[in-house]
């Protein structure tokens, strides 16, 4: 029986990073994962994010943006192209190649850092002295390993919709949405969250008629509503996404077509017929098969593993990170928790501030934010000030042909400390890091305003928003 100092269950962005960091700190480390490649004939590390989530979706978004640009944007640059054609299968092939390269990269990193990679599902068996026993099931071939510390990083799975089963033929989850090899004439999406908006954007750009049905009456409720309303305008009026809010689903029938019966926000009965339907109504923690009950591992009423502020469970030396615990279901949050847990096992004192974790939606324009929204500050009775600036007059944005969007900085009215940064516009997934660093170091809006920003760059809009927070904008 193999014994390890640290055993990580799950090789997603939280698990594989935790395993690598633990090995770097001198611990004998193993990582157990049951992920397989698209063909189903070989192991694939990286979890949902790398295989059927973050990475492949960004590849498709980029491909679809290029196709859209060739059709609609090249002419204003003086570039004339012929009959632009789109090959969905080729786009999927490129996406798959990127995924294969990165999963192989994790395998290399495991070898480099001497992490033992074990294939299969893991479940708790019990305890042997100071060691926890785990059964590893590799398609029926079972072995037992022991770990002094266990890190549960089993991630999440798509939330089911009771009205219809996912078959990934006509009714798709995120994985199915990433593997369409033909453009559906009519595409329906249930859910206007990150996955729904990103996948809807991909297939709209390449020719699908896209309808997004959202139960909430508020668009992007987690985002600052000034930014969300601007995004809604771009997505609906300019890009042609049919986003319906306040929808109540009644019945979904899947046959040669997918028929959705629902009531709109006015309560009127509606019927829509789609070639494909993507179900993107959120995700739930993946604790199935852990045998948590056998060892008394505590879960809450929603199925999340209960942890304290440092990711400790109720069991000694058993930790949990990422989507399977409280907090935002974000890959980068999981990775940082994994690093922090490995360092805590080593006796270090790392700190992770949830208030400075950035959020990003990779639509066009992109949306990103960190910290409190204006709505949250009002609800909490915080006296704040704000500064906004747009990309419309930014030289770099105009040169890119992407002069749309806004940067908004919220700061404490008395201390000027930055409380939140919210953006919609070109490459704000990159620009948001300035806000993250600023908040992590307790910067004021004046600190950002006093920093010299290169010209011409998109970052000048952040600078201008910081100046505007003190009512001294130079270009607004």
Q: Judge whether 195 is annotated as a binding position.
A: yes
Of 72, 288, 455, 475, which residue is the catalytic one?
455
Q: Judge whether 58 is annotated as a binding position.
A: yes
231-241 residues labelled b (16+ CB within 10 A) or e (exposed) = bbebbeeebeb
Q: Which residue has the tokens 């001497």?
A: 114
Q: Judge whether 214 is annotated as a binding position.
A: yes
Find the helix or strand (DSSP H, E) in which 283 lies: strand 283-285
Q: Judge whether 196 is annotated as a binding position.
A: yes
Q: Judge whether 420 is annotated as a binding position.
A: no
Question: How many Å apart are CA 283 and CA 306, to the nearest integer?
Answer: 17
Alpha-carbon distances of 275 from 18, 188, 191, 215, 342, rounded to whole Å: 41, 8, 17, 21, 47
Q: Is 463 a catalytic residue?
A: no
Question: How many Å apart are CA 399 and CA 460, to the nearest integer?
Answer: 14
Q: Judge whether 123 is annotated as a binding position.
A: no
Q: Judge whether 282 is annotated as a binding position.
A: yes
Q: Which residue has the tokens 């640290």?
A: 6
Question: How many Å apart are CA 75 and CA 450, to the nearest integer?
Answer: 39
Supply φ then ψ for residue 118, to 5 degrees.
-115, 130
Q: Judge whether 193 is annotated as a binding position.
A: yes
Q: Judge whether 192 is annotated as a binding position.
A: yes
Question: How many Å apart are CA 285 and CA 281, to the nearest integer?
Answer: 14
Q: Judge whether 323 is annotated as a binding position.
A: yes
- Decide: 366 and 427 in contact? Cβ < 8 Å: yes
Question: How many Å apart are CA 387 and CA 381, to the nearest integer?
Answer: 19
Q: Judge whether 198 is annotated as a binding position.
A: yes
Helices and strands: H and E segment counts in the chain: 14, 22
Q: Judge whether 188 is annotated as a binding position.
A: no
**In sequence order, which ranges of 88-236 are alpha helices (DSSP H)?**
88-112, 174-177, 194-205, 225-233
Find the helix or strand (DSSP H, E) in which 399 lies: helix 395-400
CA torsion angle for 35, 40, 42, 48 (degrees, to 10)? -30
Question: How many Å apart are CA 155 and CA 158, to the nearest integer?
Answer: 11
Structure tokens, 291: 């045998």
Q: Which residues are annotated as a binding site for FAD?
A: 58, 154-156, 323, 329-332
Q: Which residues are annotated as a binding site?
A: 58, 154-156, 191-198, 214, 282, 323, 329-332
Give catalytic residue positions.
455
Q: Which residues are annotated as a binding site for NAD(+)?
A: 191-198, 214, 282
């Amino acid at each position: 029986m193999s014994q390890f100092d640290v055993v990580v269950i799950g090789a997603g962005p939280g698990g594989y990073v935790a395993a690598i960091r633990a090995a770097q700190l001198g611990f004998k480390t193993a990582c157990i994962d049951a992920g397989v490649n698209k063909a189903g004939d070989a192991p694939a590390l990286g979890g949902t994010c790398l295989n059927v989530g973050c990475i492949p979706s960004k590849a498709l978004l980029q491909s679809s943006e290029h196709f859209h640009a060739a059709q609609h944007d090249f002419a204003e640059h003086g570039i004339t192209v012929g009959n632009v054609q789109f090959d969905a299968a080729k786009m999927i092939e490129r996406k798959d190649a990127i995924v294969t390269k990165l999963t192989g990269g994790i395998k290399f990193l495991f070898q480099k850092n001497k992490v033992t990679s074990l294939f299969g599902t893991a479940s708790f068996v019990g305890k042997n002295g100071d060691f926890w026993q785990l059964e590893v099931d590799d398609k029926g071939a079972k072995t037992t390993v022991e770990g002094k510390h266990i890190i549960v990083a089993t991630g999440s799975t798509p939330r089911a919709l009771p009205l219809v089963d996912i078959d990934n033929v006509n009714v798709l989850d995120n994985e199915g949405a990433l593997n369409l090899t033909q453009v559906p004439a009519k595409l329906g999406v249930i859910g206007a969250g990150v996955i729904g908006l990103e996948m809807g954007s991909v297939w709209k750009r390449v020719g699908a008629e896209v309808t997004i049905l959202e139960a909430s009456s508020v668009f992007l409720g987690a985002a600052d509503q000034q930014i969300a309303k601007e995004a809604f305008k771009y997505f609906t009026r300019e890009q042609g996404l049919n986003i319906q809010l306040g929808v109540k689903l009644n019945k979904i029938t899947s046959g040669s077509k997918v028929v959705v019966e629902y009531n709109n926000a006015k309560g009127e009965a509606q019927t829509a017929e789609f070639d494909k339907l993507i179900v993107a109504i959120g995700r739930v923690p993946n604790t199935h098969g852990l045998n948590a009950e056998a060892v008394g591992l505590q879960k809450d009423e929603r199925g999340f593993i209960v942890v304290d502020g440092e990711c400790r469970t109720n069991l000694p030396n058993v930790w949990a990170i990422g989507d399977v615990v409280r907090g935002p279901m974000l890959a980068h949050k999981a990775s940082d928790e994994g690093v922090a847990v490995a360092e805590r096992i080593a006796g270090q004192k790392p700190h992770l501030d949830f208030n400075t974790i950035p959020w990003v939606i990779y639509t066009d324009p992109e949306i990103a934010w960190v910290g409190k929204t204006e709505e949250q500050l009002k609800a909490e009775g915080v006296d704040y000030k704000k500064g906004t600036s747009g990309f419309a007059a930014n030289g770099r944005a105009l040169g890119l042909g992407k002069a749309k969007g806004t940067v908004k900085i919220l700061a404490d009215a008395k201390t000027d400390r930055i409380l939140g940064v919210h953006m919609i516009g070109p490459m704000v997934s990159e620009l948001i890091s300035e806000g993250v660093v600023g908040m992590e170091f307790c910067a004021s809006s004046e600190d950002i305003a006093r920093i010299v920003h290169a010209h011409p760059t998109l970052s000048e809009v952040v600078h201008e928003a910081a100046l505007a927070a003190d009512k001294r904008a130079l270009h607004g």
